[in-house]
Every structure is written in C-alpha cells, then in structure tokens.
Amino acid sequence: MNEGFSLENVSIGLAGWGGHDTVYPAATPAARKLAMYARQFPVVEVDNSFYAIPTPEAVQRWVDDTPDDFGFVVKAFQGMTGHDRDTGRRALAKLLTGEAAPSVDALADVSEAQEAAMFAAFRAAFEPMARAGKLRAILFQYPPWFDCTRDNVATLRRAKALMADAPVALEFRHQSWFAPEFRAKTLSFMEREGWMHSVCDEPQAGLGSIPIVPVPTHPERTIVRFHGRNVAGWHASGSPDWRAVRYLYDYSDAELRDWVGILQRMLAHTAAIDVIFNNNSGGHGAGNAKRLMTMLGQSRGEPPPEQISLF
C-alpha cells in the first residue's frame, strides 16, 4: 500500500514523437522533434524498437536530447513477443544470422542460444538509457492470438528471465487472461514474477480486446495505454488504412475525468504511473493528453512560437 500517493506521480505522454502535427511548428526538422516534444510531455513511448533494435548510439542521442526528469517506455522488439509477421521475421533473421537479406526460413527453428542473443542485444541497445535513469519500462505487448495457456505462461517466465533485472511491463491482447476464472491468477502471476501491468483502455470488441483492469501489479510503476474506443474500427485489419481507422478516437472530457479517479485509486498501490495516448491516427492523442494533464493540475509548457523566416 502506497500511503503517500499524489497525482503528481502520473506522467502523461504519447506513443512516438515523430508525427503529432499539433506538437511542433510547421517544418520542424525530425532531429529537433524529440527535444521539442520533451518540453511539453514528461514521457514518451518508443515504437520503432518494435520493428528493429536500435543502435546504442541512437539511444544515447535520445537520452542526450531530453531533460534529466524525462522517461521512456520502450516497446519490446517483435521477435521477442512472437509476432509472426513477414517483416518481423526477416528483421529477426537478419539479427540472428548477420545476413543483409536472409530468408525467413532462417527462423524455422530459433534455438535457445539465438533467443538469448536476441534478448541480450535488445538489453545492450538500451543500456545508455538505463544508465541515465530514463528507462521507465520495456513493454512486452503480446499478439492477439497469445492466449492464456500453460505454454504461454512458460513463455512469459522465459522472457522475464532473459530480461534479467530490466524493468518490464506486460500487456495482453487476448481477453482470456482476464476471464473470470483466470483474472486473479493472471494478476497474481504478474505480481509474483515482477511484471508491471500495462493497463489498456480500448474498445470492447471480442476476443481481440481486453477489459479495463486498473490493478497495479508492481509497487514501483504501472503503465496505462489509451488506444481509443472505436469499436467499429478495431478489427478493420483487412482494409488498407486499418491502422488509421483502428486508433481513430477522441476521448471526451467525461471519459478523461473518469480516469482521474481511477488513476488516484491506482496510486494507492503503485508509486508512479506512466500514461500513454496511442489514439494518434486522427491527431487526437496530443490534445487528449494535454487535457488530462490540465485535469491533474500539470503543465510542462508549450511549443516555441513558429519563427518567421525572412527567406
């Protein structure tokens, strides 16, 4: 039980820092965006690490571009979470074989040694961030087909062991983990194994979505991720613009106010909460994040005014 909880211990930010047109003046160079983002938000989710493991040099630049109190929530590489996508399999094959354009057949049977090497490479990449005290959590978001089975529980134990003492958060995308018969066992397992809970606010649209379960499982930190509540678009994966449709949602003030109370109750059981808005396809995430910050009495400044060019 955390007796000294305060809403000041809630950090609010966005998934990624590259898009978000309302966050930057027009024509802001990509290399300047993270520093400018960090003037307005205290935390960010790193999404590109899901597709490829960055170099330690790139991670060091992110560390250098942000103030001392800034934090990163980093998505685990897709090869570490079993996403069976062709691009992901090729990225993993490249990492494990060292070939520039490997065949996906190289992944037909990943050995334990190769799996360990992949996890070690990921940990090493983010060592500069960990040393700087800016690595809030590494987010393991498992795919929608990762259901609650004995084999998958073993997979989680193996992943946690391979991450050693790195801070790790866990997000499920198959609702079986929170079915009535498994909910308490899932939360107890996460607490016992040292997983932070990544709590989701998302549409309730069948097996591919999970309910809001605002229960911390780690005394130090909890993650909350807002995916929007677009029920109709949640399973639009067959359309060419499905990502844009899936996360197209603008939270109302009433919905955000409900979360103020939820966050306060959660802080009785966890020291800090990082809130990430992922409803960015329509540009609503930044506005929603700033409205929630206002409701919590937080302010981190605004982007600098756009400079008038003489040429």
Per-residue confidence (pLDDT) for residue 233, from 0 to 100: 62
Rounded-to-integer distance, Cα 270 and Cα 275, Å? 13
Which is higher by pLDDT, 311 or 130?
Answer: 130
pLDDT at 185 over 80: yes
In this prediction, residue 310 has a pLDDT band, given cuts at 50, 70 and 90, of very low
Per-residue confidence (pLDDT) for residue 27, from 0 to 100: 86
What would the pLDDT profile of 85-120 be if each residue is shown by its tens digit? 454 455 555 555 555 554 545 445 567 888 899 999
pLDDT band at 76 (very low <50, low <70, confident <90, very high): very high
Per-residue pLDDT, 107? 46
Q: What is the pLDDT of residues 217-253, one digit of tens each?
A: 999 999 999 998 876 665 655 555 656 666 678 999 9
pTM: 0.86
